[in-house]
Amino acid sequence: MSGNSIKKVTVIGAGTMGKHIALNCAIYGIETNLTDTFADALDKALAWSNEYLDGRVAKGKMTSEKADEIKKNFHTVSSLEDAVKDVDLVIEAIIENLEVKRELFAKLDLITPAHTIFASNSSTFVPSALAVATKRPEKVANIHYFNPAVHMQLVEVIKSPVSSPDTLETLMEFAKATGKTPILVQKEIDGFIVNNILAGITNTAWFLVENGYATPQDIDLGAEKGLGHAMGPFRTLDLAGLDTILSIRQAKYEKSGKEQDKPPALLVELVKNGHLGKKTGKGFYTYE
């Protein structure tokens, strides 16, 4: 199978990531089903997708014929069985819960054609943790998109120890055929590539702030004006949500017990005061 032979895709989970991934596939001419256990999520995803496309037309960035073509490729399907019965690729984008994901993969194994590849968009679970739930582990890998997936160019394709070369090649080619730049993570590692790079930068940035070398705002200026980064580390944290970042740090610290993973006092203080970043209007920066 090659990436160009992926003609039909089902995205499971119509939340933040799934609706974007499904729309991205539809934009590139792939017949796309989007399914979710909650009908409301599907209705919202369809409304969002139509609004997005109509907005592009209104701004003169897309013809109405092209928007209609994309709408015809994008199907919301409430029954999982109907959604996956004849697809080449399933992209899983459901909640981040290992047991729920494994249950889904085991079920998919029974109701999809033998050639169907299963790819998870999980940010934390490596593909072998999901492949064990199936009888086709060689056809399982991760395809990790970035938020917002319609716009962000990068995807990480993550190999499990038993993902077949054909599966990986198909996913890399599929990513390219749908407008993305894929990178291959050749061995399983928590955080994959990009989040490990980000963690390195962020840990250094925290060290500099906590030890009084510079303010978060000056560190961001250093990264933005000195390194050409589009966004400094603290602006990035504000965007992600400081409460989310704090829970990730707390979980990491509980697991490792390492001093370097301990949540920084300033982060704890900001969250305690309800300053969660862009979503609450205040974090390291103040937002309108």
CB-nearer residue toward ligand NAD: 131 or 219: 131
Q: Is residue 156 flagged as an active site residue?
A: yes
Min CB(20)–ligand NAD separation in Å: 8
Q: How many angstroms separate the CA atoms of 69 and 67, rounded?
A: 5
CB-nearer residue toward ligand NAD: 201 or 266: 201
CB-nearer residue toward ligand NAD: 18 or 216: 18
Helix extents (H) in the chain: 16-27, 39-58, 64-73, 80-84, 98-111, 127-131, 165-177, 194-210, 216-221, 233-240, 242-256, 265-272
Q: Is residue 195 flagged as an active site residue?
A: yes
Min CB(182)–ligand NAD separation in Å: 15
Please, are residues 193 and 156 in contact by the beta-carbon 8 Å criterion? yes
User: Which residues contact residue 126 at a Cβ distance below 8 angstroms, ignoring those fewer than 6 apart?
Assistant: 142, 158, 160, 188, 189, 190
Q: How many angstroms separate the CA atoms of 162 and 145, rounded?
A: 22
Q: Which residue is nearest to ligand NAD (CB)?
A: 15
Min CB(4)–ligand NAD separation in Å: 25
Q: Catalytic residue, from 123, 128, 160, 164: name it.
A: 123
Min CB(43)–ligand NAD separation in Å: 11
CA distances from 110 to 61, 136, 185 (A): 42, 11, 28
Q: How many angstroms separate the CA atoms of 256 and 272, rounded?
A: 24
CB-nearer residue toward ligand NAD: 152 or 208: 152
For residue 282, the 8-state DSSP code is: B
Q: Is residue 4 flagged as an active site residue?
A: no
Min CB(225)–ligand NAD separation in Å: 27
Q: Catalytic residue, from 156, 163, 164, 275: name it.
A: 156
Q: Catalytic residue, from 20, 75, 144, 275: name it.
A: 144
CB-nearer residue toward ligand NAD: 69 or 146: 146
Question: What are the beta bridge partners of residue 34?
Answer: 11, 76
Q: Is residue 79 flagged as an active site residue?
A: no
Site for ligand NAD, rule CB under 6 A: 12-18, 36-38, 41, 93-96, 100, 104, 121-123, 145, 147
Active-site residues, by number, are: 123, 144, 156, 195
